[in-house]
Amino acid sequence: MENLDYNKVNLSTENVHVLLINFSTFDFQNYMNYLTSNEIKRLGNINNINNRNQFVASRVVIKKILSKYLKKIPNKIEFSFNKHGKPFIRDKYHNHRFEFNISHSDIYGLIAITLDNKIGVDIQKINHDIDVDSLSSRFFSENEKTQLMNLDKSKKIDAFHLGWARKESFIKAIGEGVAYGLDNFTVSLEKNDTKSILDIKNKKWHCYNIIDFENYKTALTTEIKSKIITSSNEVNISTNF
């Protein structure tokens, strides 16, 4: 596990930073002073301890990075949300727009952050008990269903979760979530195939494999082709604040 040096997260329009967080190493009670009064109220409605850690940890990391650029203390940084629930902040840095996205699955989470580039990130813990055929028939495009059907049974679970992570990252990048329709666009289910995603409005988006580790699939989608900078290990946010 590595300590995150926030001074080394240099935001620009050319790169996207992606951080892997292990929520099980985090104790939200130590970071209440990073939250706004509205966030403290929201936290009070979350009963599950893991969900509390996810809620606070993701905000702590983002606010710590943003505070360097905005010259604000973290609890003065307010998150807003679009009509589909995607978080953003109204503050700008030298007329540049901050863009960030958060995803979590079980004890792990991903945070992606950049400037002036719409992004979406997703992490999926592999569930070997799901009905892949049923879910893909409901949510995958015809092309994706064909890709899945042509795979050996032993490869279907991995391919499904990779495809799902890529699809989630796309609908989060465009800011519409599931309202966009998961079957309205196609991603590749092959690990080494990260071609651009072409949505129904004929605009290309760029999809990347990011952090690959046992029993999880991850993906990042960006509006502008970028250099992706990832943390090589889990980021320890409990020891350097």
Pair (69, 164) in one structural domain: no
Task: Check residue 178 and give its pLDDT.
Answer: 87
* Residues listed for the chain: 241
Pair (133, 169) in one structural domain: yes
Residue 92 domain boundaries: 2-116+226-236
Please report whether residue 110 resides in a domain: yes
Give 171's Cβ-side CA count (13 Å radius).
Answer: 20
Average pLDDT of the chain to the nearest whole number: 89
Give 100's Cβ-side CA count (13 Å radius).
Answer: 25
Pair (105, 51) in one structural domain: yes
Number of domains in the chain: 2
Q: pLDDT tens for residues 76-125?
A: 999 999 998 899 999 999 999 999 999 999 999 999 999 999 999 999 99
CATH number of the domain residue 164 falls in: 3.90.470.20
Pair (20, 106) in one structural domain: yes
Task: Check residue 179 and give its pLDDT.
Answer: 86
Please report whether residue 171 resides in a domain: yes
Sorted by sequence, the CB contacts under 8 Å of residue 128 that are 6+ apart come out as 157
> What single-letter amino acid sits at 65?
I
Pair (102, 171) in one structural domain: no
Pair (7, 100) in one structural domain: yes
Q: Mean of the pLDDT values across residues 139-144?
A: 94
Virtual torsion, Cα 126, 129, 135, 141, nearest 10 deg: 40
Pair (95, 129) in one structural domain: no
pLDDT at 177 over 60: yes
Please report whether residue 241 resides in a domain: no
Pair (90, 129) in one structural domain: no
pLDDT confidence bin for 237, thresholds 50/70/90: low
**pTM of the entire structure?**
0.91
Pair (105, 155) in one structural domain: no
Pair (112, 155) in one structural domain: no
pLDDT at 193 over 90: no
Phi-psi region of 116 (alpha: psi -120 to 50; beta: other; left: phi over 0): left
Task: Check residue 1 and give its pLDDT.
Answer: 40
Q: Mean of the pLDDT values across residues 222-228?
A: 94
**204: exposed, middle or buried (C-beta count within 10 Å: 0-12, 13-18, 19+)?**
exposed
